[in-house]
Structure 1
């Protein structure tokens, strides 16, 4: 669970806090020093770093030819860098990682939304979100590399998870509403307990 203050201070302001939380829950890690290394579709086990400096060393060692994801948002390390020596410790610093990760995810959301024709209905958002999460995991959307792609800009209609739950609950409540029953007069009530067997046996 992400700290609300961390989201407020560090996350990309174009994303609602509930969306930031959903995003990190879907793709991220609770551990700011978490490192995931994949090579040729296989997960490579790396030692768990104890310090940010150690984490960056592990990233530098593995970045050649592998996909290395780091920190709270599991952002791919080395985007836009020419050399591993340019990697900085702030990559694993919670606030900086959240800032970079959510800014990148917001860009991916805008890419996905543009492909959908920039829908303004909040109802479409869960589908956009799922596609953006998939693009974040794979690095691609419609054959295009999303991390290197240009930001199309614009805003994405979002509905927060809370709003979504309220809307869904309202729909459920509406369908489960029973028509009001008219009160039954005592004489009209049917027999509710079968009394025929009492005293019938000797």
Structure 2
């Protein structure tokens, strides 16, 4: 589970904390130095880095011929960089990685939402989220590269999480209501019509 302070300070403010948690749980890693290298459909095994320097060395060695994903959000290395020399250790910094990853995912959510016609019903959000996660993993949505695509802008409806106050008030109102099973036997209404039994 992501640290609440890290989320508050570093995650994209367009995404609700619950969505940030869902996103990292779906695609990310608990280890800020985590590196995944894929060539086509093949996963390439790389040594587990112990320091940010080792992590960046692995990124530099593999970035040319493979897809390299890095850090908490497993963001693809090299997105938005014109030159390999621009690459820096921000990728393995927890806060910077979360900031870049959630900003990119927020953009992908807006791309998916636009394709859906920018729905306003929050019941549609789980499908939007699943499609955005799939786009994050594959890099594509409807044939377009989501990491390079322009940001369509706008807001995405996100599921409302029930507030603790709301659930408390529901529990309290349930406590105050009489339990229908505790009715006096002599005052109970007839529930089964027995009048026809025995009649010919």
TM-score normalised over the length of structure 1 = 0.81
Say whether 1:184 aligns with 2:185. yes
Residue 56 of structure 2 corresponds to: 56
Once the two structures are TM-superposed, the CA of residue 54 in structure 1 deviates from its matched residue by 1.1
Once the two structures are TM-superposed, the CA of residue 163 in structure 1 deviates from its matched residue by 3.2
Residue 26 of structure 1 corresponds to: 26
- How large is the RMSD of aligned CA atoms in angstroms? 2.4
In 2, Cα distance between equivalents of 1:139 and 1:40: 12
In 1, Cα distance between equivalents of 2:95 and 2:46: 24
Pairs within 5 Å for 1:136-147: 136-147=136-147
Residue 174 of structure 2 corresponds to: none
Question: 1:91-144: CA deviations, max 9, x gaps?
Answer: 110000000000000000000000000001111111100100010001000111
Residue 200 of structure 1 corresponds to: none
Residue 4 of structure 2 corresponds to: 4
What secondary structure, in the 3-state scheme, does the structure 2 residue paired with 1:157 have? coil
In 2, Cα distance between equivalents of 1:42 and 1:102: 26
Q: Give structure 2 stretches of 5+ with no counterpart.
A: 171-178, 191-200
TM-score normalised over the length of structure 2 = 0.82
Pairs within 5 Å for 1:103-118: 103-118=103-118
Q: Give structure 1 stretches of 5+ with no counterpart.
A: 171-178, 190-202
In 1, Cα distance between equivalents of 2:71 and 2:156: 25
The answer (yes or no) to whether the contact 1:60–1:85 under 8 Å persists in 2 is no
Once the two structures are TM-superposed, the CA of residue 184 in structure 1 deviates from its matched residue by 2.6
